[in-house]
Structure 1
Amino acid sequence: MENVSKKNHEEYKYSEDKYEDLSLRDAQMLMVSILKDVDEICEKHNLKYFLDAGTLLGAVRHKGFIPWDDDMDIGMLREDYEKFLKIAKEELPEHLFLQTFDNDKNYDIYQVPCKIRYNNTILIEKNIAENHDMHNGVYIDVFPYDSLPKKGWVYKFQRMLSYNVLKSFIRLRETPEKLSFKNKITFTFYKAITKIFTVKRREKFFKFLVNWNDKNSPYMGYGLDTVWSEYVYRKEDYFDLIKLEFEGEHFYGPKNADAILTQLYGDYMTLPKEEERVWHAKVIKKLKV
């Protein structure tokens, strides 16, 4: 992964002896710098993004990262998200890499359709099969959000379709070493699905499902190309967005963060027990200077 740039990103394998440990705090500050570049692009092109999930919680409860958090999440409504992907390809600075299934042929974290990675760094997550062929740099996640269809049954049906396609890819990525006879049959089905839905076909399929949505719906949720169908929010709790303090900077967040965080976490201002304060990464490194 040495000296990766937007123009040279076919291989991301790295030699561990050329890397040194990076502290969690330094990794967090790199994530903030990534978001500052994203914020600049969005401001320039009038695109709306918002702090999401644990990052939103960190902004409200800590005015920055949850101390043990090692990732950063933002969301965008589908229209802004699609525009951002096109613009970011050209306007992200050279030290950052826009990671999608189109831009990184080896990328296989299927439930997250877009990450922005910091070149010449490494962040390997726990509980995810390692893949040293894809870009593994320190990152922020960029999630699309979709308006909901007019009918609830349509939402359930389109989510059932999209989830089962994604589930096939995700389960194959995490295939256990030993499979029972029943699981062998199941994984044969998963393999058939992944053969049918190449990257381009999967993309077209999700776009087809997105067309069922009603842009005027008062409700929104994570995009159909993610796996989180259970989270449905009122748009009026998000827009118009407001600026929230985060690590001495200010980034956009929902105007009614309390409603969203309460829905997500319940009593979100109470800290979890110490044994529950864990992070995802098992390796965080940077290229030696």
Structure 2
Amino acid sequence: MNNNTNYSNYEDLGLRDAQLIMASILKDVKRICDKHNIRYFLDAGTLIGAVRHKGFIPWDDDIDIGMLREDYNEFLSVVKNELPDHLFLQTHENDPNYDIYQVPCKIRYNNTLFIEDKIAENEKMHNGLFIDIIPYDSLPKKRWVYNIQRKISNFVLRSFIRIREKPEKLTLKNKITYFVYNIVSSIFTTKRRQKLFDFLVKWNDKDSECMGYGLDTVWSQYIYKKEDFFDLIKVEFEGDYFNAPRNYDAVLTQLYGDYMTLPKEEDRVWHARIIKKLKNA
């Protein structure tokens, strides 16, 4: 882990070299999933990259994959014993200092640094290059139940996120709001927060025709048809083939609209502020 980082021990890493390291993490995750018959699929910008570029979007600096909750839980149960030594499973349980609350799981590459832009730096957690593992949940039978689930889970998650990103100067109204956030974050320790999410997930219907981003994420606005995902197909990404939603066009259109048209240069977003690797590693 990269605790108490001394930047003088690290050297800059180019974007393309960083992309290839992340692609290697993805290949290890694919190997583990295939071995244990765990379904995963390329997601978000990574899926666009596969469809449009057969690899990374040229300026992209992360990888996203998704898993339905049952596959995600199985992945967490086997991955610790399957990861090579140069990789680290990062969850709120495995890394008590991990505080990027909207993403419950990352696989990090040891002896590297990836400091995200617009997120307060935390030297105590593992900050290596990573891929995001995003759980998806089947929806409850009733939409109003889903709305209640999301109001509860989003309020708890956003309390932690807002505390992490607290501005230096607050209005009186914001001071009151942050006081409430502090109370919520003090009540919902990691174990209690996980128990809450596990309780809310029980309201879901595994046979639902729809799915969305997991209750332990903040993206509640996207709801997909399962038939657009399964059965999964293979798409090319960086010289290898990985799982993707069978109707990726419908999924990506819902997310991004016209995803095949390159955005303007000023809209080509990076996540990284710092990308480095340990010298002589």
* Aligned 1:197-208 pairs, distance under 5 A: 197-208=188-199
Match of 1:120 among 108, 111, 135: 111
Question: Deviation at 1:273?
Answer: 0.5
Counterpart of 1:228?
Answer: 219
The answer as to 2:145 corresponding to 1:168 is: no
For structure 2, the 5+ residue unaligned runs are none
Q: Provide the rounded CA distance (Å) in 2 between the counterparts of 1:262 and 1:184.
A: 40
The answer as to 2:83 corresponding to 1:99 is: no
* Aligned 1:264-283 pairs, distance under 5 A: 264-283=255-274
TM-score using structure 2 length:
0.99
Q: Provide the rounded CA distance (Å) in 2 between the counterparts of 1:111 and 1:191.
A: 17
Cα displacement string for residues 101-128 of structure 1 (whole angstroms, at most 9, x for unaligned residues): 0000100000000000000000001100
Counterpart of 2:32?
Answer: 41
Q: Provide the rounded CA distance (Å) in 2 between the counterparts of 1:122 and 1:47.
A: 29
Cα displacement string for residues 72-129 of structure 1 (whole angstroms, at most 9, x for unaligned residues): 0000000110111111111111000000000001000000000000000000011000
Q: Provide the rounded CA distance (Å) in 2 between the counterparts of 1:183 and 1:27.
A: 39
SS in structure 1 opposite 2:81? helix
Counterpart of 1:153?
Answer: 144
TM-score using structure 1 length:
0.96
The answer as to 2:16 corresponding to 1:25 is: yes
- Corresponding pairs, count: 280
Counterpart of 2:62?
Answer: 71
Counterpart of 2:45?
Answer: 54
Counterpart of 1:263?
Answer: 254
Q: Provide the rounded CA distance (Å) in 1 between the counterparts of 2:147 and 2:206.
A: 17
SS in structure 2 opposite 1:136? coil
Match of 2:181 among 174, 183, 190: 190
Q: Give the letter for the 1:284 counterpart.
A: I
Counterpart of 2:135?
Answer: 144
Cα displacement string for residues 144-180 of structure 1 (whole angstroms, at most 9, x for unaligned residues): 0000000000000100000000010000000001111
Counterpart of 2:5?
Answer: 14
Cα displacement string for residues 235-268 of structure 1 (whole angstroms, at most 9, x for unaligned residues): 0010011110001111110111001011111111
Cα displacement string for residues 190-226 of structure 1 (whole angstroms, at most 9, x for unaligned residues): 0000111000000000000000000000000000000
For structure 1, the 5+ residue unaligned runs are 5-10
SS in structure 1 opposite 2:277? strand
SS in structure 2 opposite 1:221? strand
RMSD of the TM alignment (CA)?
0.7
Question: Percent of counterpart pairs with the same letter?
Answer: 70
SS in structure 1 opposite 2:5? coil
Q: Provide the rounded CA distance (Å) in 2 between the counterparts of 1:97 and 1:145.
A: 22
Q: Provide the rounded CA distance (Å) in 2 between the counterparts of 1:278 and 1:226.
A: 21
Q: Provide the rounded CA distance (Å) in 1 between the counterparts of 2:3 and 2:26.
A: 22
